[in-house]
Structure 1
């Protein structure tokens, strides 16, 4: 599922290991084999374990993981185990652990938010915005999908989404509405999504042919009223909630009956609390 390719992993490796590990070279320790285990201190959703294994393999380690991406690892679980000479293990250690710390952190928050939403609305999707870390969209998307989230927009070429900033370019409301009707005619393969900030405006956009209404920074009560109106008058339409949705309030928004909550919160999850344990196998 959307795994990172070897060229992408090599690019990541070369950013941290452009030539060699200077510290281990200068220490000049005698050749010896060792085992490196990366463990989690908390319960986490495993994410990008396959990539961590592959990084180890690319650097010459024997690598394995008992946790497929998307599975849940209990505190104390070994997410990754690497075997090899100590110099190779030192090269792979932080590359693998940091990748897992970020990936598992994002996946765990996504799974937590999705569980809270499904507890009150089993048909509500957790949709992550395109506000990923710059230069890390593929990695972030992969990690969040491991946690059960789906991309809201992977990029500007994918979906039709009309914002207030688009509306502002028209001379008046009539001109915008005329343009929206024409846009609806041209969206022969795409759904027309319009962002709205009020109940009355959302109703008007539905009347003009919007397939999806994205309500920005509206309270659950307003959303509940809009969902009821949509079910009666536009049952084929979709209502999304967006703006400030996080683990503390996602259940409130999902309970309104919306089909999806749009959020950037999982990107800010921080790093999972992982640690590494070394075991020396002896000299070669």
Structure 2
């Protein structure tokens, strides 16, 4: 992360009158960051940067996306007691939040039978790049980062402009580097979008059997090839197998970020080297 971001996070967390850490003798201590449950590690580099900022020696054998088990050591730490206490919550917040996203993403990836799993823009304001990075650590695809990455024509765009005018306008104004994605809710709209030259068609809140029929129809009409087909909405760990078998290319889920549970991670001081006489 950028230094200005890190210092902003630190300023928010420490505040202006940190009594709890300042009353602690600044002995040199050794500590461990430990996982309290199985999962996928993410936020390793961010936590390491936080520890480094506070002059804490942090060592780890893990990388982004490493599988971890309950009671595994994520970091071993060596530094001043006050510094470790001040870095603790911020580092654990990054690790817990990002590892939770990576863990849930990996669960979806494991059930998707090779279909690409992607995130969405349903992210925490100001924390998007870290949440997208966590999706990648879990084996997923970050999808577009912002509105400028891809021209996505959604239901409200179509409500205002109509499908044909929206796609035509996008074709006129989009850079050659930008794909045009159209959100559809039924077979007729999918066929229309394909005929209009959409690069990506996203089936929104459509049942798996309806998507399968639509993909077959697109193939029968000779307009399936060259189009990326994406499914989103109403997809869960329980039914993702049904969607993966439809012939879809991508499954995108806001749940990867907005519904992931934090991984339970703790910091434990193990040894104190007292400097008092």
Shared fold (TM-score, shorter chain, > 0.5): yes
**Among candidates 94, 98, 101, match of residue 99 of structure 1:** 94
Q: Distance in 2 between matches of 1:11 and 1:251?
A: 42
Q: 1:51-107: CA deviations, max 9, x gaps?
A: 111111101111112211111112211112211121111111111112111111011
Match of 1:53 in 2: 48
Q: Distance in 2 between matches of 1:140 and 1:34?
A: 31
Task: Give the aligned CA root-mean-square deviation in angstroms.
Answer: 1.8
Match of 2:242 in 1: 252
Which 5+ residue runs of structure 1 have no aligned equivalent?
none
**Residue 218 and residue 82 in structure 1: after superposition, are their counterparts in 2 closer, same or farther (change >3 A)?**
same
Structure 1 length normalisation: TM-score?
A: 0.89
Question: For the Cα contact (< 8 Å) 1:230–1:237, is it kept in 2?
Answer: no
Instruction: Give 1:179 shift.
Output: 5.1
Q: 1:193-236: CA deviations, max 9, x gaps?
A: 11100012211221122221111000110111122233341211
Query: Per the alignment, in what secondary structure is the counterpart of residue 168 of structure 1?
Result: helix
**Among candidates 35, 38, 44, match of residue 30 of structure 2:** 35
Moved more, 54-63 or 31-40: 31-40
Which 5+ residue runs of structure 2 have no aligned equivalent?
none
Match of 1:156 in 2: 147
Q: Distance in 1 between matches of 2:165 and 2:53?
A: 57
Q: How does 1:57-136 map to 2 (within 5 A)?
A: 57-118=52-113, 122=114, 124-136=115-127
Match of 1:21 in 2: 18
Instruction: Give 1:47 shift.
Output: 0.4
**Residue 225 and residue 283 in structure 1: after superposition, are their counterparts in 2 closer, same or farther (change >3 A)?**
same
**Residue 106 and residue 16 in structure 1: after superposition, are their counterparts in 2 closer, same or farther (change >3 A)?**
same
Tell me the matched-pair count.
Answer: 271
